[in-house]
A and B are shown apart, each in its own frame.
Chain A
C-alpha cells in the first residue's frame, strides 16, 4: 500500500513535466497511478471477502505515536476501489476535456493526482493521526482544485469557503481523535476499537468533535453550503469530489467508527437527524436549480444526508445498505457530472432554460445520462435500485424515519427526472441548441460508469458477498444484498417512491412558486458570509484596541504591568530582609551619589553629547562600584566598554542634530517620569528582596576549587567564562557576531565585502621636505581634524597597547584580564588609530575584513571545543599541557586559552566592524553628501595642509 502512495506522489511530481510534453493527453499515463490502486484492490478481493484485513505498518514518528499503519478492511477496500477506479476514469476524461491551451493544466494534473493519493492514504490509514494528516491534505488539495481559476473571484471565494469550513471541522475532529487516542494509549483505530471505550462526558465530547469533522467534510447540515459553492471547480473535479473523494471521506469516517461508536451517546441522534434533514433540504433545493451542475450538487448534498443517516444508524441492515449506496452513488454521480461536462462543452451552456433537443442530437449521451439518472432515482434493474431498496428495508421498523426517507427519495426521483428533462428534452419554448459532435474518448468514461451501474444491479447478490463482512461488524440479523427481495413492504415503498417522484416532476409547473417560497430561512452562504464578516470586524476591533502602533505606549503598558504585578506581589509578600547593611565601604556612597546626579542630569540633558558624557559618568561609576564590591574583572571590562561606547556614540551622532528634537511629548512627560520612578522603586525593592532571600549556599562556592583543580587557573571569573560555563560564552560570541553583522548591514548601503579602500588607493605617503610622517593615513585628513600630537602619541603607543592586550589575554587565566578585556583593549587601540588618522589609517592598522576576524574567532572557539571532544574529553573541557622550553624552563598551557583567543578575536572583530561601519563607512557617506566639516577625512584638493 505504501508503494501505491509513493506512486501517487511520484506521479503528482512528474505531472507538470508530462503535461508540458504531452499536453492534456498526459492525463492518460497519470491515470495509471489511481488505476494501480484499483488493480491492487482487485487482487485483494479474496482476502476482503473472507473478512480478513490487509495490514502494513512502518515506523515513522515514534514520539508522536504516529506510524504509517495501514489497514484495509471491507469498507476501506471498497473506498480504495472507488478512489482508484473513479480517479482513473476521471483522469482519462480530463485528457479530452481540457484543451492544450488550458492555463495551469500542469499544476492541475499534479494536484489532482496528489489529491487522489491523499484520499487513498486517508482510507487505508489505521493510525488516526495519519488519517488526520491525509484528511487535511485532501482539504488543501481540494482547495487548490476548486480554486483552479485563481483569477476569478468566485473561484477563490468558493475555494476559501471549502477550506475554512472543512479545516474547522478537521481541527475539531483532531481533538476528538486525541481524546480517544490518549484514553486508549494508541492511535491505531484497530487497537482503540478492541479496547474499552472511555465513559461519560469524555466519550460524548470525543464523539461530537469527531462528528463535526465528518459532517463538515460531507457537507451535512449545517455545513452544507460549501459544496454547491465548490461547483466553481472544473467539472471533472466536481465529479471526483462528489463521487469518490472529499465528501465521501466524511461518510467513510462515520462508517469506519460506527461499529464501535454507534451506541455512544449522541452518535445516533446526530448522524440520523442531521442526515435525514440534509436529505430533505438538499433534495428540495435541487428541484429549484436551473443550472444542471448545481442541481447535481444539491442532489449530492441530499444523497450524502441519506448516506450519513444509513451509516450512522449502526444496524447490520443499515450498514449493508449504506455501503451498497456508497458504491451506487459513486457510479451514478460521477457519470452524471461527466455528462454535464460533455453537455457544457458541446452545447456551451448548462442552463436548463437554454438547452433543448439534445435528446435527438446526442442520443448516446442521453442514453448514458438516463441510465445514470435512473440509478440515482432507484429504478430497477439498476444498482441504485438495489441500494435504495436495501435502505428502505433497513428502516422498516422506524416508521417516522422511514417516512422522511421515503419523502427524500421521492424528491430524488423528481430531481433525477428534472435533470434528464432539463438536459435532453425538447422544450417547446426553446430553440434547439446547436451541439458539436461528442468525441468518443469524452463519452467513454461516463458510459463505462453508467454501464457498470446497470451490470451490478442483477449481480447484487455476489456483490453483496464482498460487502457483508462490513455489515457483520454490527449486531443484527443475517444481512444480504439481493436484487429481488420478493413481494415485501419495501417493494411497495419503492413503487410508491417512483410514483410520487414522477408526480412531483409532472407537477413542476404549479409547484414552482411553492419551491421558491419554502427555502431554508438563512441560506448557508449568507450565514457563512455573515460569520466571516463578523470575525473580520471583531479582529479589527480587537487589533485596534491592543495595537495602537506607538512604541512608548507599548513599553509603558509592559512597564506598568511590571510595576503592578511583581510590585504588588512584593507588597503582599513583604519578604523578610536579612543581612542588610548600608554599605561595604563608605566610598560606595560617594560613588552612588555621583552616579545618581549624573543619571538624573542625563535624563534632563538636551544636547546629545552632554547626555552621552553623563551616561558615561554613570558607567564609570558602575565600574567603581564593581571594584568596591570585589569584582576587578568586571570593573576592567566596564571601563573599557564605557569608553568604547562613548566613542561609537559620538561617531554616529556627529551626523545628527546636536540637540534632541523636542517633540510634543511635554504633556506625557510626567506620565513617563511617574512610570520611571515607579519602575525604579519596584526594581530596588526586588533587588532588596532577591539579595536577602538566599536559602542555600551558592553553587559557585565550589568554583574556586574547581577552577584550580580542573580549569588550571586562579582567576575564578575567567575560568568560569572559558571552562566552567563555557557554553554560555559560546552563545554570547554568537550574539556578538550577529550584532556585528547587523550593524554592518544597516550602515553599508553597498556590500560589505565589496570594494574596500585598498592600501594602494589609501594614502600615498607624500612626505614633505623636512616633515616627519607619523601616521600614513594622517595626510588624508582635513587639516582642521589633524593633530600632530595625537598622531605622535598614537604612533608611539599603538603597538604597546596591542602588546598589552595580548598580555591581558594570556595572563587572564590567573589574574584580572582575559579574552574580553584583551579584545576590548586591542579594539580601543584600533579606535585610536582611526580617530588619529581616519579611515585610511584604520585600513593601515587592520588590513583585514572584520568578518574574517569575527569568523576566525568563532571558528577558534568552536574548534577548541570540538578538538576536546575528538580527544575523548567533554566538549570544551580543559586540559593542561606541560611544556619545557630551553631558557624559559617549565611552564604549562591550558587548552581553554585557545577558547579565550577565540573570544579575543570576536571582540576585536566586533570593534573593527563597528569602526568600519559607523566610522569609515559613515565618513564615506558624509564625503559623498558633501559635508566635509563633519567627516574625519577630507578631500585634499584646494585645502591647505
Chain B
C-alpha cells in the first residue's frame, strides 16, 4: 500500500494549498494575533513545501533500512531549522502584539499616520512643510534676500 519516492504527493500538495490559502486570509487581517496565526499557518505550508522538494521514504537514519529508500535528509534539515525559527518569530510577533496592546489598548495594525498626511498633502496639491526659518533680510546685512523669487513663486501657485 505504501508508495514512496520522488515526485509530488497530491495530498501534500493539497495541504500546502490549504495552508497558504487560509494563512493569507488571516495575514490580511488587522488584528496582530490573527496575523500571527496566519504566519504560523504559512510557516506550516512552507515547511511542507520544502519537504516536497525531496523524496519521501523511510527515516533517514542509517541502519534502519536501505539507504536507497530513505527520505531526502536535506529538506528535512532545512525544515527543522525553519520550524524553530518560526517559533522565534511567533514569540516576537506575540511580544509586538502585547506591546501594541499595552500602548494602544488593542492589538490592531493601524494605518501609518505619516503616510496618511502625505496622501492629504497630495489631495490639497501642496508640498511638505518648507524650511520655516525665522529671519528677515532686513536684520542681516550680510544676506542676499531670496524672498523675491519665493514670493513670485507663491503668487503663481496661489493664483
A pairs with B: yes
Q: How far is the CA of A556 from the CA of B28 in the complex (A)?
A: 7
- Nearest chain B residue, comparing its CB with the CB of A743: B95
A429 at the interface (CB under 8 A from B): no
Tell me how far the C-beta of B130 lies from the nearest C-beta in chain A, rounded to whole angstroms: 8
Whether A747 contacts B99 by the Cβ 8 Å rule is yes
Tell me how far the C-beta of B154 lies from the nearest C-beta in chain A, rounded to whole angstroms: 10
Whether A583 contacts B131 by the Cβ 8 Å rule is no
Tell me how far the C-beta of B129 lies from the nearest C-beta in chain A, rounded to whole angstroms: 11
Whether A291 contacts B87 by the Cβ 8 Å rule is no
B9: chain A residues within 8 A (beta carbon): 581-584, 588, 629, 691
Tell me how far the C-beta of A145 lies from the nearest C-beta in chain B, rounded to whole angstroms: 13
What's the A-B contact tally at a CB cutoff of 8 Å?
426
Known contacts A291-B144, A676-B25; A641 and B60 CB within 8 A of each other: no
Tell me how far the C-beta of A291 lies from the nearest C-beta in chain B, rounded to whole angstroms: 7
Whether A595 contacts B15 by the Cβ 8 Å rule is yes
Whether B51 contacts A580 by the Cβ 8 Å rule is no
- Nearest chain A residue, comparing its CB with the CB of B35: A551
B residues 1-33 in Cβ contact with A at 8 Å: 1-31, 33
A residues 916-936 in Cβ contact with B at 8 Å: 917-918, 922, 925
A294 at the interface (CB under 8 A from B): yes
A residues 127-179 in Cβ contact with B at 8 Å: 149, 151-158
Secondary structure type dominating chain B contacts:
helix
Which of B30, B49, B67, B102 touches A552 (beta carbons < 8 Å)?
B30
Interface residue total, chain B, C-beta cutoff 8 A: 124
Whether A663 contacts B108 by the Cβ 8 Å rule is yes
- Tell me which of A216-224, A724-732, A779-787 binds B: A724-732
Q: How far is the CA of A615 from the CA of B12 in the complex (A)?
A: 18
B86: chain A residues within 8 A (beta carbon): 641
Whether A652 contacts B94 by the Cβ 8 Å rule is yes
Whether B73 contacts A700 by the Cβ 8 Å rule is yes
Whether A645 contacts B90 by the Cβ 8 Å rule is yes
In this complex, the member of B13, B87, B101 whose beta carbon has the largest number of chain A beta carbons within 10 angstroms is: B87
Whether A578 contacts B7 by the Cβ 8 Å rule is yes
- Tell me which of A60-68, A230-238, A858-866 binds B: A230-238
A228: chain B residues within 8 A (beta carbon): 144
Whether A688 contacts B122 by the Cβ 8 Å rule is no
A residues 688-745 in Cβ contact with B at 8 Å: 688, 690-692, 694, 698-700, 703-705, 707-708, 714-717, 720-721, 725, 728-729, 732, 735-736, 739-740, 742-743
Whether B51 contacts A581 by the Cβ 8 Å rule is no
Known contacts A675-B28, A700-B72; A580 and B1 CB within 8 A of each other: no
A881 at the interface (CB under 8 A from B): no
Whether A540 contacts B128 by the Cβ 8 Å rule is yes
- Nearest chain A residue, comparing its CB with the CB of B63: A714
Whether B25 contacts A622 by the Cβ 8 Å rule is no
Whether A629 contacts B7 by the Cβ 8 Å rule is no
Whether B94 contacts A235 by the Cβ 8 Å rule is no
Whether A540 contacts B95 by the Cβ 8 Å rule is no
Whether A691 contacts B133 by the Cβ 8 Å rule is no
What are 11 inter-chain pairs, A to B, with CB distance below 8 A?
A: A157-B146, A529-B149, A540-B121, A552-B109, A577-B8, A588-B12, A619-B44, A630-B59, A691-B6, A736-B85, A907-B84
Whether A746 contacts B7 by the Cβ 8 Å rule is no
Which of B7, B57, B140 touches A579 (beta carbons < 8 Å)?
B7
A409: chain B residues within 8 A (beta carbon): none
A707: chain B residues within 8 A (beta carbon): 62, 73
B98: chain A residues within 8 A (beta carbon): 652, 655, 746-747, 918, 922
Tell me how far the C-beta of A827 lies from the nearest C-beta in chain B, rounded to whole angstroms: 10
**With A633-B80, A672-B28, A820-B80 given, can you name 16 additional A-B contacts, CB distance below 8 Å?**
A293-B144, A552-B109, A579-B8, A581-B5, A581-B9, A588-B12, A599-B19, A603-B22, A629-B71, A663-B31, A687-B8, A688-B13, A704-B60, A708-B62, A728-B81, A736-B84
Chain B 81-97: CB-based contact to A (< 8 A → 1; otherwise 0):
10111111111101111
Whether A739 contacts B137 by the Cβ 8 Å rule is no
Whether A549 contacts B91 by the Cβ 8 Å rule is no
Interface residue total, chain A, C-beta cutoff 8 A: 151
B36: chain A residues within 8 A (beta carbon): 649
A703: chain B residues within 8 A (beta carbon): 60, 73-74
Chain A 388-417: CB-based contact to B (< 8 A → 1; otherwise 0):
000000000000000000000000000000
Whether A648 contacts B94 by the Cβ 8 Å rule is yes
Tell me how far the C-beta of B156 lies from the nearest C-beta in chain A, rounded to whole angstroms: 8
- Tell me which of A358-366, A431-439, A462-470, A530-538 binds B: A530-538
A460: chain B residues within 8 A (beta carbon): none
A residues 341-366 in Cβ contact with B at 8 Å: 344, 348-350
A721: chain B residues within 8 A (beta carbon): 77, 80-81
Chain A 565-604: CB-based contact to B (< 8 A → 1; otherwise 0):
0000000000001111111111011001001100110110
Which of A630, A672, A681, A699 touches B17 (beta carbons < 8 Å)?
A681
Known contacts A681-B21, A714-B61; A656 and B7 CB within 8 A of each other: no
Whether B111 contacts A549 by the Cβ 8 Å rule is yes
Whether A644 contacts B135 by the Cβ 8 Å rule is no
Whether A618 contacts B19 by the Cβ 8 Å rule is yes
B residues 38-82 in Cβ contact with A at 8 Å: 40-41, 44-45, 47-49, 51-63, 67, 70-81
Whether A917 contacts B37 by the Cβ 8 Å rule is no
Q: How far is the CA of A742 from the CA of B96 in the complex (A)?
A: 9
Whether B118 contacts A540 by the Cβ 8 Å rule is yes
A375: chain B residues within 8 A (beta carbon): none
Whether B52 contacts A677 by the Cβ 8 Å rule is no
B84: chain A residues within 8 A (beta carbon): 637, 641, 732, 736, 820, 824, 907
B59: chain A residues within 8 A (beta carbon): 630-632, 816
Tell me how far the C-beta of B42 lies from the nearest C-beta in chain A, rounded to whole angstroms: 9
Tell me how far the C-beta of A558 lies from the nearest C-beta in chain B, rounded to whole angstroms: 10
B15: chain A residues within 8 A (beta carbon): 592, 595-596, 621-622, 625
